Chains A and B, each alone.
Chain A
């Protein structure tokens, strides 16, 4: 700190400090900025999943804006005259021609297009995985139901955004998808034809739909996404992050790193890594080569017409659903297509939206929770989740059942029937198996708490009996049974997790630490068997890691079971 002049105590002396004062004189932001910098974020890898979705969204906004400089959403037919020879002279829509131009005539345009597509796939994927994390750890419980609902709405919007974007290039594949969208709208009872005429401005395909999907894709849905993401984050900041149970962690605090500089450093690092992965995929892995599909023609189709992965479960349900038109009196029909494409996702997303309410009603648990649950400790929810995943996976695989049938030389009809039967049978099986696994894991946690960790040491008693020595992980009663109660946190299952092993000496080719210094360090920390040899019997109680570094929040015994 520089010596201060006597003018005003505490007045800034450096240029930067003066600039800061100037800013704060005008905007009065020092208080809020300090509160923001001091905000504590818990540290766990699974808390980064939502961040990945956020960063994908940023990438999508940037790359998407770039693409709009070149894309023309018009269905006017022209004769292609670009650099791609095989299609030159063919009649096609301006939308498709401008997509070809982006791919072949814009420097780096193909890279941007593929980057955008990959980021979109990753966006939906990270939302889904983030949702699974929230679900299985019970992070949606009061007070976070609102954010759960916003999250599910974000997922639905992301799917619509993907579906509209997929349609824009107006190639053969996207046109086939559009044809199915058209049939789905027609299938709505009573208002189907009217809805179709409103969306397409007439019969399929018309000349408006690409232009309409374009504005929905680049303005309408992104604006809503942006607003909802802002609300999602504001609520998160306001309610503070959840955390897993652990030493010192309670319902009334957050243990972790302050935003500045640790969390900010890691989060910015993740942003760049996500951006880098998308860029690498966008350049190295070809996706949707529209020039191979050719322009859309309603009479043509390519084999293995698959949508992007996130719509495949609906394609699967459409393939599996039996041919059941419902004929009503008066010659009205409810098309079979209506059930798997509109009713099924309607039910699925409604259940998903309402799940926090359903669970609250069923369990009667209306208390605020900020500590997360381990999936094994809530077997019913975990099993329901696995059941849903099994259901979803059957639909997903069925969405590509023709490819599976082709690659593995299975009858296509057998695949369809396997999907139909699997859809009914597999979810309950998944439920039962998950339930048993949860109970087993719970039991093992309790057993270790009661009897200690298996040491692998066999001791022969004077009368000849062999016993395995167990290491209690807490104080024991007169029978040698552990008195620690289960606290919802991982229980160490191996001796190394309670510090039986020394830490490895750092250094890849040659050690960068003094081995002896490390040894002394660890002795002081009470780590490694050698540390306890002088004062600790293997069978006595006392946690070897006690007095370990609190900075690790009990990390030394972080088990991976």
Chain B
């Protein structure tokens, strides 16, 4: 770009158009360009973009066997893509019209089982063939050229002039000298930033109100019921069996922390049983009740291997021994499953004697303090 002495703008204030955008229009007149062939113009433009075409391997010779073959391949690929797209449409639109119903039914018809796989098959084939056709086209029918483009490092000129503009603006603002403004700007920035973030405070709630982590719906006299709501009697379970029970309160069977395992120990297990200190009377006869919520990550501990007295959590394989107060004996869990003190009410159904005496579920920072 030529420099001119007068201002404003590069035209020196005259009402004439400035140099055209984006090209060396001064080097090449329209007449010169008009005299050049298309290929030359292509290479000329490329050269201005720092690209040199080293070599062109022309595509197959027009009319040659190679070309005909490639054209056939590409043509058939695209045609097949169209066929499969059409088949997709037939399956999608036609199901329930001139084809059997697609939707799932109790017995499941053959067509409803095929519907989704066919959609995937036809759309997949169609799109993959479009892609294959395009790749075949570029590989087999287009000329292969090898181009080299220059890679430029940053321009020193740009750095210096941009820097001058930036520093000039900063300098002219006088901010380095006007300390009062810098400080008030800083104060304002912090204030406005915190103000804009403050509404997020609506997310914050106090987790300690009412000790929700330490409490469940179990309480003195609350019956142990199965998931269908039926109460449990001591005679209902075989020795060595496990039943998941919930507190007999509304919504108790969906409460995240209340699920409890009621286990009837076998006679030899009763002999081995070493309950945790102070919890010897938590059991009722040969029945013990432990929290089902793993003390590691909160998954339901659901696999009971009665020969080894082990409870296994399927998430991370913590194992607990029911004859040792559900102490963790393998895996990542660190604490015993809390034990629910149980007894039997006047009608002979199991009831809790109180809530769990400790928080159930995974460990957290101040668990021991609540």
Contact = CB atoms under 8 A, between A and B. Distances in A.
Interface of A: 1, 4, 8-10, 28, 30-32, 34-35, 38-40, 83-85, 104-105, 107-108, 110-111, 114-115, 176, 179-180, 182-184, 186-194, 196-199, 201-205, 240, 248, 251-258, 261-262, 265-266, 268-284, 297-305, 315, 318-325, 327, 330-337, 340, 368, 370, 401-402, 412-413, 416, 506-507, 512-513, 549-551, 553
A402 B123 contact: no
Contact of B203 (A107, A198, A276): A198
B149 A254 contact: yes
A268 B135 CA distance: 8
A163 B259 CA distance: 26
18 contacts: A10-B30, A28-B21, A30-B22, A107-B92, A114-B120, A188-B365, A204-B257, A253-B148, A257-B144, A269-B133, A272-B127, A275-B131, A280-B128, A282-B124, A298-B254, A299-B259, A327-B368, A513-B65
B102 A337 contact: no
Given A10-B34, A298-B259, A280 B149 contact: no
Contact of A301 (B56, B57, B300, B363): B300
B144 to A, nearest CB: 5
State the 7 A-B residue pairs at the shortest beta-carbon distance, nearest first: A283-B120, A31-B22, A280-B124, A276-B128, A272-B131, A269-B134, A276-B127
Interface string B204-224: 111110001100000000000
Contacts of A248: 54, 148
B369 A331 contact: yes
Of listed B55, B119, B137, B254, residue having the most chain A CB within 10 A: B119
B144 A262 contact: yes
Contacts of B69: 507, 512
A196 B206 CA distance: 10
A187 B364 contact: yes
B151 A283 contact: no
Nearest to B49: A38
Interface in B7-27: 21-23
Given A110-B116, A197-B204, A304-B314, A203 B256 contact: yes
Contacts of A197: 204-207
A220 to B, nearest CB: 13
B269 interface: no
Nearest to B129: A276
B300 A183 contact: no
Nearest to A1: B38
A275 B300 CA distance: 39
B151 A253 contact: yes
Contacts of A337: 296-297, 332, 362-363
B228 to A, nearest CB: 12
B66 A506 contact: yes
Contact of B128 (A182, A191, A273, A302): A273
Contact of B333 (A104, A115, A323): A323
B171 interface: no
Nearest to B96: A107
Interface of B: 21-23, 29-31, 33-34, 37-38, 45-46, 49, 51, 54-57, 65-66, 69, 92, 95, 102-106, 116-121, 123-135, 137-138, 142, 144-151, 153, 203-208, 212-213, 227, 244, 246, 253-257, 259, 292-293, 296-300, 302-303, 312, 314-319, 328, 330-335, 361-369
Nearest to A264: B138
Given A83-B104, A183-B297, A253-B151, A333 B368 contact: yes
Nearest to A178: B298
B127 A413 contact: no
Contact of B138 (A107, A262, A272): A262
A195 B99 CA distance: 54
Of listed B21, B29, B148, B292, residue having the most chain A CB within 10 A: B148
A193 B300 CA distance: 20
A335 B363 contact: yes
A64 to B, nearest CB: 17
Contacts of A105: 103
B314 A402 contact: yes
A269 B314 contact: no
Nearest to B36: A10
Contacts of B55: 549-551
Of listed A85, A256, A279, residue having the most chain B CB within 10 A: A279
A284 B334 contact: no
Contact of B147 (A257, A266, A333): A257
Contacts of B144: 257, 262, 551
Contact of A336 (B103, B129, B292, B334): B334
B88 to A, nearest CB: 9
A9 B148 CA distance: 32
A198 B23 CA distance: 57
A266 B135 contact: yes
Contacts of B300: 298-301
A106 B258 CA distance: 37
Contacts of B207: 193-194, 196-197, 203
Contact of A299 (B31, B57, B142, B292): B292
A322 B46 contact: no
Contacts of A253: 148-151
Contacts of A108: 92, 116, 119
A428 B367 CA distance: 39
Given A187-B363, A253-B150, A331 B368 contact: yes
Contacts of A299: 227, 244, 246, 253, 259, 292, 300
Given A194-B206, A276-B131, A551-B144, 15 more contacts: A107-B102, A111-B123, A176-B299, A202-B205, A204-B257, A265-B138, A276-B129, A280-B124, A280-B125, A281-B124, A318-B316, A318-B332, A337-B332, A416-B331, A551-B54
Contact of A10 (B31, B65, B205, B368): B31
A114 B142 CA distance: 37
A108 B151 CA distance: 49
Contacts of B129: 276
Contacts of A269: 130-135, 138
B254 A114 contact: no
A336 B123 contact: no
Contact of A319 (B54, B116, B257, B317): B317
